[in-house]
Amino acid sequence: MQIVEFGAGTLRFLDHLPQRAPDGGFVWIYLEREHLEQDLPVLQRAATHLGGSPLLDLHIKDLGNRGHPSHYDYTSVYDLVIFRRLATDAEVNAELGGSGPPKDAPLAAFHRIRTRAVGFVVFDRLLITVHPEGCFAARTFIERYLKDALQTEGLSAAARNRLPASAPDLMLRMLNVMVDNFLDLRKVLSGEIDRWQQDLLAPKQHGVEADWGALMTARNALHGLQDLCEEQNDAMQEWLDTQREQPPPWMSQAELDSLLARARDVVEHIQRVTHHVHRMEQGAETAVQIHFSAVGNRTNDIMRTLTALTAIFLPLNLIAGIFGMNFELLPLTHQAAGFWWTLAAMGLIAVLLGIVFWRKRYLARTER
């Protein structure tokens, strides 16, 4: 458990709970989900003395639930926000146990999309965050503020400007970092979708076959991402509406405007991720349709060539059938050169029909 006290342009890392929240500041308590049950008495004491109300048992269960979806709930004293962030490579490897697809496999990044739930309990002067073990979001902010706190002459002006002004402000900053990781993921997913589309539309040229199993996994991952973004958007939109309708009485109008602007920025980033996921789904679906259209067109080219060849041999079969009739008297049958005249006529007919079909592009070679 980490306890950080934010004052008016200052911060302190504490070893124990303060008696009260600092004037013009707040207290941030960070802990890992694995230690929630162990540290629950301290959390309840902090929520009671610093926040003004103990945590509800139902909300404690939500904070301890690893698979909880993004969600917003509230009481008359505090807000509860559950937000799912993107899992790190180390967390994915630990979950898959090294049994996942190799990184150079088709659409491998889609197999590795995993998320983790992070819980936020927001009081007026207290922020409690519950993270998975080794969470990068909390570690990033702790390392940043620790670096600022270790400066020789206290916090510099630039460092003071970077400090959060309130508990909701710190929550939104952490949420913004989590959403930005989804935005960074767009480049990786888009690159793999583009490579897969090239392999799908030109398999002969690339020497590989389309991996339909990887496609189904990718589509399921995209559907899951879209559902996740919708849950995130709903949770943040509900929290934003609550702040608009019931702003904290102690917060000035300037602080409220800044807070709402940061919240709208988080919502806008979530919507950008949703839009990009929807566009990737459409791109994958379009590539599949183009692939089958190309396969159908190639099949039509093959059938056209076979039909033209069949048309060339039809008159030759007719001539062979006529001279194969079992009559005693047939033209050219009793002449020494009859066979060669017939063979030459059949060859000439075949060549003429071949030239005609070639000029009509029935036998044209299609570039692939």
Q: What pLDDT is attached to residue 149? A: 57
Phi-psi region for residue 231, left (φ > 0), alpha (ψ -120 to 50) or beta?
alpha
- Is the residue at 190 inside a domain? no
The answer to whether position 132 is within a domain reads yes
Burial of 209 (0-12, 13-18, 19+ CB in 10 A): exposed
Any domain includes 237? no
Please give the pLDDT value at position 84.
Answer: 94
Question: Is 160 inside any structural domain?
Answer: yes
What pLDDT score was predicted for residue 209? 57
pLDDT score recorded for residue 153: 47
d(CA 357, CA 311): 9
Mark which of 101, 132, 164 sits at the end of a domain.
Answer: 164
- What pLDDT score does 170 carry? 92
Question: Does some domain include residue 176?
Answer: no
**pLDDT in the model for residue 123:** 94
In order along its 368 residues, the chain shows pLDDT tens digits of 889 998 877 888 888 898 888 888 899 999 999 999 999 999 999 999 999 999 999 999 999 999 999 999 999 999 999 999 988 888 888 777 765 556 666 677 787 788 999 999 999 999 999 999 888 878 887 777 766 655 534 555 444 557 888 999 999 999 999 999 888 888 888 888 887 777 776 655 544 456 677 777 788 888 888 899 999 999 999 999 999 988 888 888 888 999 999 999 999 999 999 998 888 888 777 777 777 787 788 788 888 888 888 888 888 888 888 888 777 777 777 777 888 888 888 888 888 888 888 888 777 665 54
What's the pLDDT at 207? 43
Residue 295, in any domain of the structure: no
Look up the pTM and report it: 0.76
Same domain for 305 and 158, yes or no, is no
Last residue of a domain, one of 164, 199, 220: 164
CATH number at residue 57: 3.30.460.20
Report yes or no on 44 lying in a domain.
yes
Q: Is residue 281 part of a domain?
A: no
Residue-number span of the structural domain to which 329 is assigned = 301-359
Domain count, the chain: 2
Task: Report angle CA 133, 138, 140 to the nearest 5 degrees.
Answer: 115
CATH number at residue 347: 1.20.58.340
Residue after which a domain boundary falls, among 164, 181, 204: 164
